[in-house]
A and B are shown apart, each in its own frame.
Chain A
């Protein structure tokens, strides 16, 4: 039986195909203007990778900001539940999930079954979100995947005091004009992110194992700074793309719902 999860966020869309408790294929892409387009395209790409079609899917669950607008999904579930579920499947010891997407920052505490125990979220302000990093990368003239690694070349990280994405952008512009290196600035950016994230995380309490999900988990400098600021080693996902965890959780819920349906009918 083949199940699928589709996570349409504000900046990226993700699809995961699950078969025999394994991830058969997954895809991540930048959003299209409409959520329906994003969902259709990302799921088609994932299915193509798996050598499958929409007809092969037994059940599909949608999640994320655009979840209500995905016509091929049988049901939709909140991303908080999906991230909790997905992270727990990767490592059942995970109790705290720091999910940082394009436009929000969530900290989710889960119980030993992977169900949500507590959570807090910032979606009013771009500080500490993927957008913050994207904007910073733009000002520095770096691609997003170079922003993290370059921070490790820092000799003297600069302090970036403003959490506001817009104000911090201007701070960075000044720093560049003053002759600070991109490496030092990037390190300062990672530090600013880490402090913002840890402030949120302490609201619900940080319990090991702690995992980061969402695109920002791929910024090694932020991960590093966060470990320092929180004083705890993060569980790093090596086998599964941390950005696909929401879609993975949705696929797991798809399997659960399908089996429940079967039991009810049978």
Chain B
């Protein structure tokens, strides 16, 4: 059974296609403010990548902050539900899921059998999210894929005290103007993001195994900071961590059928 899941996040739209539990193809497209059109584009891209026709797909499920903007007919699922399912699919033994997305960080504790035990997100503040990293990268005039290498080169970390993404950006600009080494600024900001996520995790609780998902999970320096602040190890996903929620949405659709 071929099923599709679409996760419309704050910063990017992710679409995946599964067939009987196997990942056939996926697409990640940045939103750039064009909410409805991106879902269409992402769908077109994933169909092209898999060589499938839209008619061959038996179920379309949408989730995420912007799911109401998905223009093609679909059923909807809660983000928590999709995150839990997706995480279990990529790593059956997971108990704690830390999803660090564009605007929201979500932490879920799973029961041994897989249902959700407890969850929390940072719904009042955008600190420590992907948006902050994007703002920072712009301020530093660095492409996102150069952040990890830069953090790795740093001899020390520049201090970034602000939790607020807006103020944090100003702090970074001040550091740049003061001539602080960019690699040190990057080290400081990835540390701050990991610390922010760790603080949220501690409010929910930690149970191994811990899985980190979401676009921000692609930054190894953030994961290192998270692990340092939680004093524990985390696991990585085999697939792109940014599509885990979309996978969960597709799986929910399959079960529904």
Quick check: is B117 within 8 A (CB to CB) of the other chain? Answer: no
| A-B pairs with beta carbons under 8 Å apart, 19 shown | A10-B170, A33-B173, A33-B177, A34-B177, A103-B166, A124-B162, A124-B163, A124-B164, A124-B167, A126-B164, A126-B166, A164-B126, A166-B103, A166-B165, A167-B123, A167-B124, A170-B65, A170-B103, A173-B33
**In the complex, what distance in Å separates the CA atom of A125 from the CA atom of B125?**
9
Among candidates B35, B123, B167, residue contacting A173 with C-beta atoms closer than 8 Å: B35
Among candidates A124, A135, A164, A170, residue contacting B124 with C-beta atoms closer than 8 Å: A164
Quick check: is A165 within 8 A (CB to CB) of the other chain? Answer: yes
- Where chain B touches its partner, the secondary structure class is loop
Binary contact readout B24-54 vs A (1 if CB under 8 angstroms, 0 otherwise): 0000000001011000000000000000000
**In contact, A174 and B35 (Cβ under 8 angstroms):** yes
**In the complex, what distance in Å separates the CA atom of A174 from the CA atom of B167?**
24
Binary contact readout A6-42 vs B (1 if CB under 8 angstroms, 0 otherwise): 0000100000000000000000000001100000000
Quick check: is B10 within 8 A (CB to CB) of the other chain? Answer: yes
Quick check: is B131 within 8 A (CB to CB) of the other chain? Answer: yes
Q: Can you name 13 extra interface pairs (CB under 8 A) apart from A125-B167, A166-B131? A: A33-B173, A103-B167, A124-B164, A125-B163, A126-B164, A126-B166, A164-B125, A166-B166, A170-B103, A173-B35, A174-B35, A177-B35, A177-B36
CB of B217, distance to nearest CB on chain A (Å): 20
Quick check: is B114 within 8 A (CB to CB) of the other chain? Answer: no
8 A Cβ contacts from A97-148 to B: 103, 123-126, 131, 135
Among candidates A124, A131, A174, residue contacting B66 with C-beta atoms closer than 8 Å: A174
The 5 tightest CB contacts between A and B, nearest first, are: A166-B126, A126-B166, A33-B177, A177-B35, A125-B164
8 A Cβ contacts from A159-176 to B: 162-167, 170, 173-174
Question: Which residues does B use to contact A, with CB under 8 Å?
Answer: 10, 33, 35-36, 65-66, 69, 103, 123-126, 131, 162-167, 170, 173, 177
**In the complex, what distance in Å separates the CA atom of A164 from the CA atom of B125?**
6
List chain B residues, Cβ under 8 A from A167: 103, 123-126
**In contact, B163 and A165 (Cβ under 8 angstroms):** no
- Closest partner residue, chain A, to B178 (CB atom): A34
**In contact, B170 and A103 (Cβ under 8 angstroms):** yes
**In the complex, what distance in Å separates the CA atom of A172 from the CA atom of B164?**
19
List chain B residues, Cβ under 8 A from A124: 162-164, 167
List chain B residues, Cβ under 8 A from A165: 126, 164-166
**In the complex, what distance in Å separates the CA atom of A260 from the CA atom of B108?**
64
List chain B residues, Cβ under 8 A from A170: 10, 65, 103
**In the complex, what distance in Å separates the CA atom of A15 from the CA atom of B170?**
22
8 A Cβ contacts from A164-208 to B: 164-167, 170, 173-174, 177
